[in-house]
Amino acid sequence: MAILVTGAAGFIGYHLSERLLARGEAVIGLDVVSDYYDVQLKEARLARLSGKPGFSFLRMDIADRAAMSGLAARHPEITRIVNLAAQPGVRYSLENPRAYVDTNVVGFLEILELARHLKRLDHLVYASSSSVYGGNTKLPFAIEDPVDAPLSLYAATKKADELMGHCYSHLYRLPATGLRFFTVYGPWGRPDMSAFIFTKAILAGEPIPVFNNGQMKRDFTYVDDIVSGVVACLDRPPADDGKTPPHRVYNIGNNNSEDLLRFIRVIEQACGREAKIQFKPMQAGDVPETFADIEATKRDFGFVPTTSIDEGIPRFVEWYRDYHKA
C-alpha cells in the first residue's frame, strides 16, 4: 500500500511527505516542478525527501491526460491520495487565469479519474482554500456558510474542485474530503506568501507592500499544525451509508484572526530589524479578513492547532536565514 502525494515538491506537500515517511508509510510523490516560483527551492525540498526510505517520485503534470491515464495500472499499490498539486495565489490569477483552470480544474479531474480507476481507494483528500468564502462578512467562516460568490478565479477553481469531488463521490462512491486551508506559513515556505516576502524585504532593508492600508487580518496557520490536520483527516475517511455521498469539507486553520501589522511586528522582532512599510489600496480579488471556524474539524479529527505566530515566525525566520545565508 502507498499514499500518492501530489505537489510533493511544494511547501505543504514536502512537509506532509516527511511526516508520512516518518511514521513508516510508503509515499509516491508527484510534481511537475513548475517555474511559478523558485525551482531551486522545490528541488531542494525534493532532495531532502529523495534519500528517505519509502519515498519514490514521479515528475509529471496532473493535467497531462496521457501520462495520468495509465497511472492506476502502473501503481495499483496506491490506496490513498492527497492532492495538493495546484496553481496557488489569488493575485497571480489576475495575470495568468488559464494556469488555474489547467491545473486546478483539468488536473483535478484527472486525479478524480485516477481515483475511480484504482483497484482500491480508501480515501482521497484534496486541498481547497479559504478563498472560497469570497466576500463573506460573517466571521468566523464556517463550512455551512454560502460560498457561491468567489472574488477571484483561484477561489472559483477551488469551489469547482469541491463540486467535482462531491459529484465523483456520488457517482462512484469515492470516499473524499476537501480541506479549506487558511494562510499557511513556516520553514520551506513559498516565496509568494507574506511571511517570505516580508522577511526577505526586512533583511534586505527594502520596503514591503501592505495592502488595504494595513487593514488586513489573516488566520495564519503554522505548517506543522496543517500537516497534523491533514494526517488526522487522511486516517479517517468518511463512511458510506449508501445514501449520501461519502464526501465532506472542513476548514483547517488556526482559529485565530491576526492583525497583519502585528504579524509584521513579530517578523521585525525575529529579524532584529524594522520594516519599511509601503501602504497600498486593496488589491482586486483580495479580502480584508479570514478567520476559520474549526469546530467540525476538532470534533471529527481531534484537530487542535498549537502554534502561535510568536512561536512559528521565529522558526520561519531562522530557516530563512539558514537557507539563504542571510
- CB contact set of 144 (below 8 Å; sequence gap of 6+): none
In the chain, helix, strand, coil percent, each to 5? Answer: 45, 20, 40
Alpha carbons 53 and 62: distance in angstroms, whole number:
24
3-state secondary structure of 306: coil
Q: At 285, phi and psi to the nearest 5?
A: 90, -10
125 grid coordinates? 483528500
254 grid coordinates? 488556526
3-state secondary structure of 243: coil
Residues β-bridged to residue 222: 185
Q: At 29, phi and psi to the nearest 5?
A: -85, 145
How many C-beta neighbours within 10 Å does residue 35 have? 8
Transcribe 160-184 into DSSP letters.
HHHHHHHHHHHHH---EEEEEE--E
Catalytic residues: 154
Nearest residue to 318 via CA among 183, 203, 228: 203
